[in-house]
Amino acid sequence: MFNWLSNPNTMSVVGIWLAAFGTLAIYSILYKENPVYRMAEHIFIGAAAGYGVYVTWSQILKPLWWDKITSGQWYWVFALVAGSMFYFIYSQRHLWISRLIFGALLGLISGTVFKGFAGVNMDRIYASFKPVAGHGMTAAQSLNNILFIFVLLTVMAYFFFSFEHKDAIRRVPSSIGRWVLMFAFGAMFGSTVMARMSLLIGRIYFLLHDWLHVAH
């Protein structure tokens, strides 16, 4: 009776129809709030959470922790003890236990972040010292580097808050820096629009290509 369930082609078609229904149900919010949207939203959240729990167990906890305990490396059980200490944050009486593990974690993270700061920023600071002429540079490269340095200095001037920007020497670079920042934010917002459009195109392509077979 249920042999069709084991047929991969049938399940593929069913999967595509379910995905198409889910896509349309989620996009129905664009018209107005409705129960079909709510249902699809809850199904997605529930399915994603359930899948996440399963994969976390099957790909992380079981192979890297449980299998080690059951194969004789019993000391891995202490990982459970350390992990459980976080949950004492919910107990007024035993709050101090969670502080121990949080303190250890914060110390670990602080040290790591401090180390990482140099790795991220030193190269960028070094790269901001650009030549403006010589070194076989073309006029375009030279102009590009001059523009880079001009933008760098004006933006830094905008974020210089130690004294009031009263006279023109301090006010003008700061003002230019603000304009340059606006350009940058505009470009970033353009990227955001492109990202959102891409995601929408992905779903419309799925509906037209995989479901309705009308897209090339």
Partner 1 sequence: MRWFDRLQHIDRRIMYVLLALVIAAPLIWKLDFPIIASPAVKGAYNAVENIPDGKIAVISINWASGTIAENGPQTEAIIRHMFIKDKKFAIIAWDPQGSKFSYDYAERIARETGKVYGRDWVHWGLRPIANIVLLIQGFARNIPRTIGKDINGTPLSDIPMMQEIKDIKDVGLIADITPTATLDIWIAYIYGQYRTPIIYAPTAVMAPEGFNPLDAGQIKGMLAGMKGAAEYEHLLGRVDFATRATGALSSSHILIIVLIILGNVGYLMSRRRREEE
Chain positions contacting partner 1, by CB under 8 A: 30-31, 48, 51-52, 54-56, 59-60, 62-64, 67, 108-109, 112, 115-120, 122-124, 126-128, 184, 187-188, 191-205, 208-209, 214-216
- Residue 6 three-state SS: helix
Least separation in angstroms between residue 165's CB and partner 1 is 26
8-state DSSP, 93: T
Least separation in angstroms between residue 120's CB and partner 1 is 5
8-state DSSP, 206: I
Instruction: Quote the tokens at residue 97.
Output: 């236990």
Least separation in angstroms between residue 44's CB and partner 1 is 9
In the bound state with partner 1, the residue whose beta carbon lies nearer, of 146 and 201, is: 201
In the bound state with partner 1, the residue whose beta carbon lies nearer, of 84 and 191, is: 191
Instruction: Quote the tokens at residue 216.
Output: 């090339």
Distance CA 24, CA 1 (A): 31
Least separation in angstroms between residue 164's CB and partner 1 is 30
In the bound state with partner 1, the residue whose beta carbon lies nearer, of 13 and 60, is: 60
210: closest CA among 17, 5, 10, 26? 17
In the bound state with partner 1, the residue whose beta carbon lies nearer, of 17 and 116, is: 116
- Say which residues have a Cβ less than 8 Å from residue 109's Cβ, sequence separation at least 6: none
